[in-house]
A and B are shown apart, each in its own frame.
Chain A
Amino acid sequence: MKPEKQDVQPEKQGVNRRGMFRILQAGAAAAVIVPKAQARVAEDQIRYAPKGAYAMLYDTTLCIGCKACVTACNEANQLRPDPGYSKYINNIYEAPPSLNSQTKNIIKLYKNKENTEWSFVKQQCMHCVDPSCVQACPLSALSKGAFGVVAWNGNQCIGCRCCQLACPFNIPKFEWTAVNPKIVKCEFCSHLLAVGKKPACTSVCPRGAVIFGTRDDLLAEAKKRIAGAPGKYFDNRVYGEKEGGGTQVLYLSHVPFTKIGLPELGEEANAAKVRTNSETIYQGGITPLVIYGALLGVTRYFFKEHVKEAEEESAQTGLKEQL
C-alpha cells in the first residue's frame, strides 16, 4: 500500500496571541512556585517542647570520662559492646571509635593540638524539639512521642536512611551488614521510663555529669550553674536551649561547643526551614492543583489541535495517526 499524499497544510507553529496569553498564565503560576529566599521560617512552623518534656543535662566540667554510661547504655538496651577496630585485627578489645549500630551513647575526648585545652564529651541523640529525622522520615517510622522522646518504629521503617541524611548531629545509625537492618539511636531508655526508672546513663554516672529531669527544670539548673560561676562555661550559654530550634539534651561546656562536635546551628530548626520552604512552594497542595488545572487547560487545547492535524493527515495518507 503506497497511498499518494496531498500537500499538507503547513503546520501552524509558534505562538499567536491566544498562545501568548496561555504562556503568561503558566508563567504566573510558575512564579508562585519560586520560593522566597529571604523568608526562612514561618510563624506556624515553629515547634515548642511539650509540657513536662524529658531532658538530660550534660556538664563537661563534671565528666571524668569513665564511660560507665556507655556500658550502662549497652546493658540497658541489650546491645553487644562494640570492640572497635580490634574486631578487624584480633587485637586486645578496645572501645568503638564513634556512635554506631551497637553504640547509642559514647564518651569522646577532645584535645587541642596547640594548647592544653581538653574536654570529654558525651554523644547521643539530642531529642530535638523539632527533629529533622522526624520531618524527613517518609512513613512516620520516627516520631516524637510522649514527653518529646524521639522514637523509632521498625514496623514502618523502609530503611531509606533519610534520617541519617537530615540529622544535623549525625546521630541515627544503620545496621549496614544486616539483612533486616534497624535504625539505632538513643530512645531515652523509654522502656525504663515506663517503669519509673531514669535513663541508664543518668542513673550510673558517678559524678552527676549527666542528669535526668524535665527540660524546664534542667534549663533552670543549667542557668543556675552559669550564674554561680560566670565565665566558667563557654559563652555563658546552655547549648540546646535555642540551638537548632532547641534540643532536649542540654550541654554545658568549658570549651567552645564546636570543639566538642556541637555545630553552631542558629535558632531556627532546619526542619522548620524545610517545611517553610515546601509550604511556600506548595501552599498546602493548592499550587500543584492550580498548576495542574492550568496545564490541563492548555494541554487539552493544543492536544485537540494536534489530533485534528493528525487525523487530517491520517485521512490523506491512510496511515494510522500517532499520538
Chain B
Amino acid sequence: MSSGFGKPNEWRRSMALGGQMLTPAFLIVSAVAALGLILSLWREYAGLGAASGMNDGYSWGLYKNFNVTTLTALGSGGYALGMLVYVFDRRKYHVLMRTALLVSILSYSAGMVSLGVDVGRPWNFIWMGIPWVWNMDSVLFEVALCMTAYVMIALDLENLGPLLERLEGKQFPKLVNEMAHLAFRVVKAVYPFFVALAFILPSMHQSSLGSLMYQAGHRVHPVWQTPMLPLLYLLMAWVIGLAFVVVVLEASCAIWKLPMDWKLLSGIARISGFLGVAWFVIRLGEVWYRGVLGKAFQGDLFTGVFLAEMLMVLIPSVMLASPGISETPRKAFNLLMILCVGGMLYRYTPTTIAFMPGENYSYFPSVIEVLMSLGFIALAVIGYLYTVKRFPILPVPMQLYLRTAEPAVCVKEQIA
C-alpha cells in the first residue's frame, strides 16, 4: 500500500465489522433487555405505582429523569459533533459522524421507549395530531414534539447512509441496489436541510429539558433552580455528548481490536474539556451571581452533590483541555468517563436529588424500576452491537478497509 492512504492509524472510512453476532456479551445484554420489556408489560397491567418508587410527591422517576433527561444528553454526540463538522468546519471529524449518529439515535430511541412506558394514558397520544389541543405554553409539549421530530425525521434520515450503502451491496438483488442508489441520491440532495434540522431541534429540546425543572419553581433547591437551567442543560449536552463519542470509540477499538486514530479522537476530547471548563465557569458565575453560593456550602447532602458535580466536571475538563493529554488514551478514557458521570449527575440532580416536594415524600427507585431502566439501556446496547457488525459505522484506516471489505459488503473474516 502506498502512503497515499494516510498513516497506518488514520481513520478514513466506515466499515461493517462483520463477525459472530451471538456472543456471550450480546446474549447477556439481550437477557437484560428482555427482562426490562417483560417488566414493562407487567407495569402496564399493574400500574406505575407497583413498578416504580414514584409517588404523588416525586411524580417523575428513573424513566423520565434518567432514561430521557440524563441519557439523551449522553447521546447528544450526533448533534454536538455534527455542529463541529458542518457549522464550525472541523471536517476532519466527519469520519466519526456515523458512530456519533448511531449512538444518538439509539439513546434517543431508548429514551422514547422509556417515555412511552412512563406515561399513564398513552392512547391519548393521538391528540398530538390535533393542533388545537396543543398547549404552546407547555414546556413538556415542546420537548415531546421536538424530540419526536428529531428521532423520527432528522436522525432517521441522517442514519440512512449506512443502510443504503449496505443495500447497494452485491448480495442484494439488482432492483434493491438501484432503488437504494436512487434513495441515496435523494438523501444527498436533502441532507443539509435535515442536518440543520438535526441541529436546531436538539438545541430546543435539550435546553427545554432544563426549562422542565424551572417549572418546579421553589420545589427545586435554590442552588440548582435558575432561569439559566436551559443554557446549562444545553451546554452539558454538548460536553458529555462529545465526551461519550470518544468513550464509545475508544471502547469499540479496545473490544474489537481496531486501530485507533488517537490524534483525531484526542481533538474531540480536548474540545469536550474546553466546553466543560466553560460550563463550570458559567455555572459557578451563575450560582454566585444569584447569591446562593453560600447555600451550596451548608454541610448537607446538597454540598456533597454540588461539589461532586462541579469537581467531576472541572478536574477532568481541565486535564483534558491541557496539551499533555494527547499521548495517553487510557488516561483520557478515564477522565472522559468521570466527566460523563459528573455531567450526568448535574442533569439528574435538579429532577430528583435537589427536588423537594415536601410533606414527607421520599423517593428511591424500586428494583423493578431499575431493572426496566437498565433494560431500556440494554436495548440501545443491542442496537449498537448489531449495527456496527452489520453496517458500515465504525471508522477504520483505508488499508484495513481495502484489506477486509469488498466495498459496502460486510465480511465474516476477522479483521485483525
Contact = CB atoms under 8 A, between A and B. Distances in A.
Given A37-B290, A277-B230, A179 B45 contact: yes
Contacts of A322: 13-14, 98, 161, 165, 392
A158 B120 contact: yes
A6 interface: yes
B172 interface: no
A34 interface: yes
A152 B325 CA distance: 56
A170 B401 CA distance: 59
B140 A160 contact: yes
Contacts of A299: 86-87, 192, 195-196, 199
Interface residues of A, number: 88
Contact of A295 (B137, B199, B204, B402): B199
A321 to B, nearest CB: 9
Given A166-B216, A319-B401, A320-B168, 5 more contacts: A166-B217, A176-B55, A261-B359, A265-B217, A273-B217
A305 B125 contact: no
B4 A140 contact: no
B399 to A, nearest CB: 10
A274 B214 contact: yes
B211 to A, nearest CB: 6
Contacts of B140: 136-138, 160, 162
21 contacts: A6-B4, A33-B207, A137-B135, A137-B140, A138-B134, A138-B138, A139-B128, A165-B59, A165-B215, A263-B218, A270-B217, A271-B137, A273-B214, A273-B217, A292-B197, A296-B193, A299-B86, A300-B192, A302-B85, A303-B191, A319-B401
A134 B128 CA distance: 17
Nearest to A266: B218
Contact of B139 (A265, A274, A295): A274
Contact of A320 (B47, B141, B408): B408
Interface stretch (B89-97, B103-111, B243-251, B370-378): B89-97
B358 A170 contact: yes
Interface in B184-222: 187-188, 191-193, 195-197, 199-200, 203-204, 207-208, 211-212, 214-219
B124 A155 contact: yes
A175 to B, nearest CB: 7
A23 B212 CA distance: 29
A168 B219 contact: yes
A137 B138 contact: yes
A140 B89 CA distance: 42
Nearest to B125: A158
A8 interface: yes
Contacts of A309: 91
A158 B121 contact: yes
Contacts of A162: 138, 140, 212, 215
Contact of B121 (A181, A306, A307): A181
Interface of A: 1-2, 4-8, 11, 13-15, 19, 22-23, 26, 33-35, 37, 40, 98-101, 132, 134-141, 154-162, 164-166, 168, 170, 173-181, 261, 263, 265, 270-271, 273-275, 277-278, 281, 288, 291-292, 295-296, 298-300, 302-307, 309, 317-320, 322-323
A97 to B, nearest CB: 8
B24 interface: no
B371 to A, nearest CB: 18
Given A281-B207, A322-B161, A323-B187, A160 B88 contact: no
B215 A270 contact: yes
A15 B230 contact: no
Interface in B210-268: 211-212, 214-219, 226-228, 230-231
A34 B55 CA distance: 34
B137 A275 contact: yes
B375 to A, nearest CB: 21
Contact of B56 (A100, A160, A323): A100
Interface of B: 2-5, 13-14, 44-50, 54-57, 59-60, 85-92, 94, 98, 118-122, 124-125, 127-128, 133-135, 137-142, 144, 161, 165, 168, 187-188, 191-193, 195-197, 199-200, 203-204, 207-208, 211-212, 214-219, 226-228, 230-231, 286, 289-290, 357-359, 392, 398, 401-402, 406-408
Contacts, number: 250
B196 A292 contact: yes
Contact of A181 (B45, B47, B200): B47
B161 A136 contact: no
A292 to B, nearest CB: 5
A14 B98 CA distance: 21
Given A34-B231, A174-B56, A138 B144 contact: yes
Given A13-B91, A299-B87, A35 B227 contact: yes
A263 B356 CA distance: 12
A299 B49 CA distance: 46
A7 to B, nearest CB: 5
Contacts of B60: 161, 165
Nearest to B127: A139
Nearest to B142: A278
B120 A166 contact: no
Contacts of B88: 15, 19, 23
**8 pairs of A and B residues whose beta carbons are closest in the complex:** A159-B120, A176-B49, A164-B59, A138-B141, A270-B217, A159-B121, A296-B196, A161-B59
